[in-house]
Structures are given as structure tokens and as C-alpha cells.
Structure 1
Amino acid sequence: MASRPTADADPSTRRRILAATFVVLSRDGSRKLQLSDVATEAKVSRPTLYRHFGSKDGLLEAFGLYEQDNFDAGIAAAVAGLSGPDRLDAALRFVVEFQSTYSLGSLADIEPEHVLQQLKRVLPIIHERIARIIPGDDSEIDAAAVVRIAVCHYIIGGGTPEQFLAELRHAAGLGPSRRRLSRVVDN
């Protein structure tokens, strides 16, 4: 279980440590993760790091939750005030941006076991978030396709962000060929 900050813990210090964890993980992987490296990157002492997280496992679990919180906050901001296809398109654009600017895609090469554990934990959550945004009776199926495409791009990479977005749009039913197909089926 992730450690919770103590009453006197400074939330900005905790966030700084988690952001530093990203830097160290993407450089070294979780097997080589040294708390002293994270403390140095965060510009805090090792006792401060231990006071916030207790152990390497506590830090890694808290980091997974931190990434999830960043995703949730980002997708909420991206879709705020939008509805219908604009809301869905904004969510898909956010997924592409999040993966290209923040996510630990390089960690899949360095530390595949850690990435697989994180994916097992977050995939159902991401699926649920995307399914809520996709309209229609097939939202669960469309969301599953969107998540699987996103995972492939996360682990394997390749293609441009524009291609990635086009794939997500198609899977979610926003692609022009999907609209034409639904019109043919409906007639």
C-alpha cells in the first residue's frame, strides 16, 4: 500500500520527489532505482524521502498513483466544457499528448516487469474513463480498442503522433470511414 504523507509533510516536497522519481526511473529503471538518486534529483535529504514514502516499494507504488492522478487530472481538464464528438476527440488528443510528453515509454525497454505490473493495475481504470466518454451502445468495445491501441503505442512506439491519433479516432468511431459505415448500416 502506498504510504500516505504525514500531517507535517509538505505536499510540494512530495510532488517534487515523485517528479524526480520519473527522471530517475526513465534513466535507470526500477531495479537500479536508488533512493539516494531520487533524493539528489529532488534536492531533498534521504530522511525526507523516507519520511514521505518509507521504502523503495512505497515510493514506486506512490509513483504509480501519481501517474494515474496526472492522467485523470489531464483528461478532465482536456474535456471540461465539451460534449459529444468534441469531448471524445479532446480526450483522445490528450492520450496522445500524455504518452508523447510524460509517460514512461522508454521504461518499457529498461524495466518491462515494472511496466507490466503498472499496466495490469491501470488498464481497467483507463478503460473505464474512456468508456464513459464514448457515446453509444458499443462504448465498451470501442474503449477496449482505444486502450489496446494506446498500449501498443506505449510499449512499441512507432509512427507519428498524428498517426496515433488517427488510429484512436478510428477505434472510437470518429474516423470518416466509421461514420460512412454507420450511415450505410443505418439505412
Structure 2
Amino acid sequence: MTDALSDDDAGRGSFSAANADDHTEIKARVRNVVKDQPTRPDPRSERTVEHILQATFKLLREGGSEKLTIRSVCNEAEISRGTFYRYFESKEDLMDSATRYLRDQTDAGVYASVEGLEDPIERFQKFLDFALDNPGTRSSSRLLDTEPEFILRYFRENFSHFKNRLSRALEPVYDSWESELGAEIDRELVSELFVRFALSATLVPIDRDRKNMAQELRRLARLIRTAPKKE
């Protein structure tokens, strides 16, 4: 097993693209190969792993997992089987890695969409723009046609991660909303609603005018309060 970023790790440290990049599945795969040696950057190996994963997604989009074989991945990535087995133990291991790689891609996009934005209104708008129209959503939509089981499993297994990631990205936004309302909102519930909203865009692409979407979601959040604590 590789040491990809866990949900506990995601809850610590700074919320930045650089922090996310240090814990990617690609870097974890390379570290796993040289785990008994001093850790150092290895761009060549990282590029090889990324080529393998990109080849995997290309083949998944074209024919699904049933037609995907180690040989076909090696041919698409233009590598030897020996190189493949240096980083992956089996087809199943490759598929597990692919789900983490897809998550990494979305993580990086979320981090980049809000990084450096202090104004909560602008931060929320930029996040929403990304959530409604990003490469991960488009890639997932295409994969639904050829490999629905892969995508649905990806959604199920990473749902908690998605909520935690969103809560961290929107923490300054939630702080601002609570200040405006003079009351706490149920942050976990709001984050879950936003995640479900974003995932629904994969299943049913949004084709409506989105100019007022951010304002509408802000109004929705105003309706959600933390339930009174029991004495």
C-alpha cells in the first residue's frame, strides 16, 4: 500500500497547492519503490507513473476496465512490463491508484481555485466556478459511459474526503457567513450539500445560466443552522 494523503493528513497543515503536491499518489508510488533509501525528488520516475495513470484513464474511457489489461496499459504508455511492475503490483493495484490519482487532480484544482483569496465572496465564487466546471467533472462524466462502476466507487470511497476538503477550502467563507448571521451554521451539512451538488453535475451536467448560482447557494446556507445543543 502507498502512503497517499489521508483524511487525517488533510485536516492538518496549510491549505495550499504546494501542500497537496507533497502528498500525491504519484509521489507516494515513487517513494514506495525507494522506501529503504533516502527520499529525494525523482522527476523521471514521477513522469513514468503519471504516463501509466494517464494511459489507464485513456483506455478506461475507450473501452472500460474489462478490456483494460496490463499489456494494453504498457503499450499505451510505451513502457515495458518490468517498468509497470516496478510501480504497480497488479491491475487491481493500478485501479486503486487511479482513483487516488483522480482525487489528487481535483484536490489540486480546489486548492488552486481559492489559494490567496482573502475576500470570502470572491473565494466562494471562485470555488463555485471550479466546482461546476472542472476537468475532474468532465473526465468523470466521460467515464460514466464506459466505466460507471469505477466512478461510482470513486464517489462512495472518497465522499468523506470531499467533505473535509471543501470544509477547509471554505472555512473563511463559513466564518464570514456566521458573522453576518450572528449564529453558527451546520458546516458539515453545508459542505455535504455542496459536495452532493457538485457530484450531481457529473450525472446531469448543468446547462442553465449560472450567474446567480453563488447567491442562491448563499441563501440556502442561511437556512441551515447548527441544531440547538441539548442541555
Report the TM-score range of the alignment, normalised by the length of the smaller protein. 0.7 to 0.9
2:147 counterpart of 1:111: yes
Unaligned runs of 5+ in 1: 183-187
2:185 counterpart of 1:153: no
In structure 2, which of residues 113, 117, 130 is the aligned counterpart of residue 94 of structure 1? Answer: 130
In structure 2, which of residues 50, 60, 84 is the aligned counterpart of residue 15 of structure 1? Answer: 50
Match in the other structure for 1:185: none
Secondary structure in 2 aligned to 1:103?
helix
Deviations 1:131-169 (A, max 9, x none): 231414233222222111211121x23333854x855x3
The amino acid across from 1:160 in the alignment is D
Question: CA separation of 1:38/1:19 partners in 2, compared to 1, >3 Å: closer, same or farther?
Answer: same
Unaligned runs of 5+ in 2: 3-27, 35-41, 179-184, 223-231
For the aligned residue pairs, the C-alpha RMSD in angstroms reads 2.8
Match in the other structure for 2:158: 122
1:143-182 to 2 correspondences below 5 Å:
143-154=191-202, 156-160=203-207, 163=210, 167=213, 169=214, 172-173=217-218, 178=219
**TM superposition score normalised by structure 2:** 0.66
Task: State the distance in 2 between where 1:86 and 1:62 align.
Answer: 34
2:83 counterpart of 1:57: no
Question: CA separation of 1:160/1:93 partners in 2, compared to 1, >3 Å: closer, same or farther?
Answer: same
Match in the other structure for 1:141: 189
Task: State the distance in 1 between where 2:67 and 2:45 align.
Answer: 27
The amino acid across from 1:76 in the alignment is Y
In structure 1, which of residues 18, 23, 27 is the aligned counterpart of residue 62 of structure 2? Answer: 27
Q: Please identify, of 85-94 and 49-58, the stretch whose mean Cα deviation from structure 2 is larger.
A: 85-94
Task: State the distance in 2 between where 1:161 and 1:126 align.
Answer: 24
* Aligned structure 1 segments of 4 or more residues deviating by more than 4 angstroms: 99-102
Contact 2:61 2:147 in 1 (8 A): no
Deviations 1:31-75 (A, max 9, x none): 221122222221212221122111101111111111111111111
Question: CA separation of 1:152/1:160 partners in 2, compared to 1, >3 Å: closer, same or farther?
Answer: same
**TM superposition score normalised by structure 1:** 0.79
Deviations 1:68-87 (A, max 9, x none): 11111111111111021211
The size of the alignment, in residue pairs, is 175
Task: State the distance in 2 between where 1:129 and 1:75 align.
Answer: 8
Task: State the distance in 2 between where 1:131 and 1:171 align.
Answer: 19
Task: State the distance in 2 between where 1:70 and 1:161 align.
Answer: 26
